[in-house]
A = this chain, B = another copy of it.
Amino acid sequence: MIAEIISFGTELLLGQIVDTDAAYLAQKLSQCGVSVYNRATVGDNLERATAALTLALSRSDIVFCIGGLGPTGDDLTRTVIAAALDAPLVRDPALVAHLTAWFEKRGYTTSDAIFLQADVPTGGVPIPNANGTAPGLWVEKDSKTVVALPGPPNEFVPMVDNEILPRLQGTGFVICSRTLRIVGMGESVAEEKTADLMAAANPSVAPYAKPAEVHLRVTAKAASADEAEALIAPVADEIKARLGSVVYGEDDQTLEEVVVRLLEAQGKTVATAESCTGGWLAQRITAISGSSSVFHTGVVTYANESKTGLLGIPRALIGAVGAVSPEVARAMAERVRDLGQADFGVGITGIAGPGGGSDDKPVGLVYIAVAGPSGTELTKNIFPGQRADVRWRATQTALDMLRKQLIG
């Protein structure tokens, strides 16, 4: 079954709100084996909205219309469906009674406009809306189906889950996917190493570049979730075997979560000393529930006197080599490890920009040190991007260095 989604509304078209409804529906449809090939957004304009629905009906079996079902003048979806399917609107007495009761129960007065929501294209049936006044619509004609749902997410999402998906079950196959999360390897290298797997169709493998990460999503189509999983597992294992330890996690696992769980499992702790990242590394670690057993102490030594005062890094050292230097990164890591009585200490010092760079020490230069039981490891990095990118990449690299020490 080929589906298409059309979102109606000038507010959506002009980007004043982001269309989370369509993304939600597309995800759910693909999970139950309905192929979505096109999505469109049109404004509250009768002609263009009707053209969009007519085009969608010409190439898809089922078209989902989101929004435009309310009682106001710019709610055109009913009229558009009636026009595209040549199925004139008829007022449904049961819906009129339902709306009347809904308003009376709340002590609101009704207006004529309210009852526009009781109009149904000929041959269509209303879909109950537990959280609002506008019912959805399900209209079948000439082997095509049009489904309309109201736009407010608190109405839309329960209607998709409780009304739409049950009617679509058993339409055939399911689509399942697993995401392998990679840090420390670029998208093009990851793709090169898995090119043959990416050429296959089921399961398919597709790369996604994320900030300082790459995700490889393995997706399989099968008659059941178990069968899909059986297709995914060997390919996921093969990718892990080829890429090795750069695959740090799966699906929704974040790098900080993996690091916190490794520390937990090994009964180890980490302390952080941050300059250019300004507390972001500590923030990421403590974002993980349960991190209090592995993280006790962090310092943000943003100024030189703070590096000297809090960590005892000699003023003379900073004077001689500069605050952004391998020596200072190393000292920060080692001294915060002592200060926090931790198994690992991380030190980060760099130039996040936009100012502060020089030919010698450009914006993006970040030294990161991880001090552990078996010594101190140091990296020199030149990160691309804006201030926030440089800072993010520095926390990402620091977490990955720590992860590598933990996995040996």
Interface residue from B19, B132, B382, B385 paired with A19 (Cβ < 8 Å): B19
Which residues on B sit within 8 Å (CB–CB) of A26? Answer: 13-15
Contact B287 A297 (CB under 8 A): no
In the assembled complex, A142 has its CB within 8 A of some CB on chain B:
no
Q: A300-B286, A300-B300, A306-B297 are in contact. Are A41 and B42 (CB under 8 A)?
A: no
Which residues on B sit within 8 Å (CB–CB) of A359? Answer: none
- Mask, A145-169, CB within 8 Å of B = 1, is 0000000101000100000000000
Which residues on B sit within 8 Å (CB–CB) of A43? Answer: 37
> Of all chain B residues, which has the CB nearest A187?
B72
- Mask, A1-39, CB within 8 Å of B = 1, is 000000000111111111110111111101000001111
In the assembled complex, A188 has its CB within 8 A of some CB on chain B:
yes
A interface secondary structure, majority: mixed
Q: A278-B286, A279-B281 are in contact. Are A13 and B39 (CB under 8 A)?
A: yes
> Of all chain B residues, which has the CB nearest A293?
B303
Contact B38 A27 (CB under 8 A): no
Contact B15 A18 (CB under 8 A): no
Contact A36 B22 (CB under 8 A): no
Which residues on B sit within 8 Å (CB–CB) of A305? Answer: 296, 341
Q: How many Å from the CB of A19 to the closest CB on chain B?
A: 7
In the assembled complex, A48 has its CB within 8 A of some CB on chain B:
yes
> Of all chain B residues, which has the CB nearest A132?
B384
Contact A280 B278 (CB under 8 A): no
Contact A15 B10 (CB under 8 A): no
Which residues on B sit within 8 Å (CB–CB) of A27? Answer: 14-16
Cα of A161 to Cα of B207 in the assembled complex, Å: 28
Contact A18 B16 (CB under 8 A): no
Q: A40-B39, A303-B297 are in contact. Are A71 and B187 (CB under 8 A)?
A: yes
A156-205: which residues lie under 8 A (CB-CB) from chain B? 158, 186-189, 191-192, 195, 198
Contact A23 B18 (CB under 8 A): yes
- Mask, A356-396, CB within 8 Å of B = 1, is 00000000000000000000000000101111110100000
Cα of A277 to Cα of B282 in the assembled complex, Å: 9
Contact B310 A303 (CB under 8 A): no
Contact A300 B279 (CB under 8 A): yes
In the assembled complex, A272 has its CB within 8 A of some CB on chain B:
yes
In the assembled complex, A312 has its CB within 8 A of some CB on chain B:
no
Interface residue from B38, B45, B339, B388 paired with A41 (Cβ < 8 Å): B38
Contact B286 A296 (CB under 8 A): no
Interface size class of A (residues with CB under 8 A): 35 or more
In the assembled complex, A131 has its CB within 8 A of some CB on chain B:
yes
Q: A30-B14, A111-B189, A386-B158 are in contact. Are A306 and B296 (CB under 8 A)?
A: yes
Interface residue from B55, B108, B276 paired with A186 (Cβ < 8 Å): B108
In the assembled complex, A349 has its CB within 8 A of some CB on chain B:
no
In the assembled complex, A301 has its CB within 8 A of some CB on chain B:
yes
Q: A72-B191, A283-B283 are in contact. Are A48 and B37 (CB under 8 A)?
A: yes
Which residues on B sit within 8 Å (CB–CB) of A303? Answer: 292, 295-297
In the assembled complex, A88 has its CB within 8 A of some CB on chain B:
no
A205-229: which residues lie under 8 A (CB-CB) from chain B? 206-209, 211, 217
Q: A38-B48, A297-B306, A300-B297 are in contact. Are A287 and B385 (CB under 8 A)?
A: no
Contact A208 B11 (CB under 8 A): yes
User: What are the 10 tightest A-B residue pairs by CB atom distance, in nearest-first order?
Assistant: A278-B286, A279-B279, A279-B282, A298-B300, A15-B23, A15-B26, A296-B303, A15-B27, A39-B41, A297-B306
